Amino acid sequence: MDNVIFTESLDRKIAGMEEKFRSILEQTLSSFLERQIPVVMRGPKTFEFKDMKSALPGEVVVANMLATEGGPGKVLFAMSKETAGMLADLLLMGDGKAVFSYDEHLEPIRDLIKDVMGAFSSELGQEVGHRIFFEDIKVALVDMAAADFMGKVWVATRLELGLQPTQLIYRIVSGEFCESCFPDADSRSDTQEMGSEDDTTVADAQKEMGLVLDIELPIAIELGRTSMLIRDIVKLAPGSIVELDKLSGEPVDLLVNGRLFARGEVVVVDENFAIRITELIMPPDYQKPRSN
């Protein structure tokens, strides 16, 4: 491995896990396409979003899997539309020269990764001594942002497929999944001192946070506001237009328990509306709870 992610012990186990996946992917592709498809692995190493974005600019095809047993944690796969189009066309018995189609090519990619991850989960589960199971895989065409990876450690492996030309797939695994797979490995940094005052402070803070983590809070997304006279409100009917105080394209507000928590932009994920957070509002800037 190029650098130490957790500890040398845990990093070795992660490297073995990624080599196992590389081998299964190579075998599966070679079997499906009825010819040898070598797969070269680069990494694993700490995931850097800018590196992936440089290699895969713009919209990418992303497969997303969440571990429901043997986790918690996530595993993502990212590839260009060109790679997805070539792979899917080959899997559909084409010549690999088809232009990417959102309607036709996502499903073959989903089936390929599902088959590979099924075999991988079975072998890894036998090695680590506990069952590993992922919920149904989701595949979509998205424009990923650095904010999608904030707040966690991620481990990335570049997989180079021996096609003509060479095709690239990023496999991105959350650090929490790595640690849960190998609980016997010491994930604490070897240079970290035990029993320090900072450690005690952090432990106390985590304990206090644990008391409130299961409390539910209402979350609302506010597109904008306006004031209207009662006589105008009673005239509203289907088809009426209400003008808000925000311009088209301006960030929308995310309110937690009535307080402004963040701002973001509206996106579509698997045909559902969502927001991508672009700005967190720091506590000194919090507003008083807004009345409905």
pLDDT of residue 141: 93
Instruction: State the pLDDT confidence band at 189, using cuts at 50, 70 and 90.
Output: very low
Would 67 be classed as within a structural domain?
yes
**The last residue of a domain, from among 157, 181, 205:** 181
Q: Are residues 23 and 70 in the same domain?
A: yes
The residue behind tokens 């932009």 is: 265
**The last residue of a domain, from among 160, 181, 202:** 181
40: which strand partners? Answer: 160
**Residue 197: pLDDT over 60:** no
pLDDT of residue 3: 73
Burial of 226 (0-12, 13-18, 19+ CB in 10 A): exposed
The domain total for the chain is 2
Q: Are residues 174 and 228 in the same domain?
A: no
pTM: 0.64
Q: What average pLDDT does range 136-156 have in this prediction?
A: 89
Q: What string of DSSP letters covers 51-107?
A: HHHHHS-S-EEEEEEEEEES-S-EEEEEEEHHHHHHHHHHHTTS-S-PPP-HHHHHH
pLDDT of residue 119: 92
Q: Are residues 173 and 233 in the same domain?
A: no
Q: Are residues 151 and 221 in the same domain?
A: no
Q: Are residues 238 and 167 in the same domain?
A: no
Determine contact, residues 89/95, Cβ cutoff 8 Å. Answer: yes
pLDDT of residue 192: 41
**Residue 15: pLDDT over 90:** yes
**Residue 30: pLDDT over 70:** yes
pLDDT of residue 191: 39
Q: Are residues 94 and 14 in the same domain?
A: yes
d(CA 173, CA 117): 13
Do the strands 252-256 and 272-280 form a parallel or antiparallel pair, or are they unpaired?
A: unpaired
- Structural element, H or E, at residue 191: none
Respond yes or no on whether the N-terminal peptide bond of residue 108 is cis (omega within 30° of 0).
no
**Residue 202: pLDDT over 70:** no
Tokens encoding 212: 């409130």
d(CA 47, CA 149): 9
Question: What's the CATH number where 81 sits?
Answer: 3.40.1550.10
Q: What average pLDDT does range 246-259 have in this prediction?
A: 82
Determine contact, residues 213/236, Cβ cutoff 8 Å. Answer: no
Instruction: State the pLDDT confidence band at 213, using cuts at 50, 70 and 90.
Output: low
Q: Are residues 145 and 95 in the same domain?
A: yes
Position 125, amino acid: G
Instruction: Find the domain containing 222 and state its range.
Output: 217-285
Q: Are residues 228 and 281 in the same domain?
A: yes
End-to-end distance of the chain based on CA atoms, in angstroms?
54
Q: Are residues 13 and 143 in the same domain?
A: yes
d(CA 172, CA 155): 6
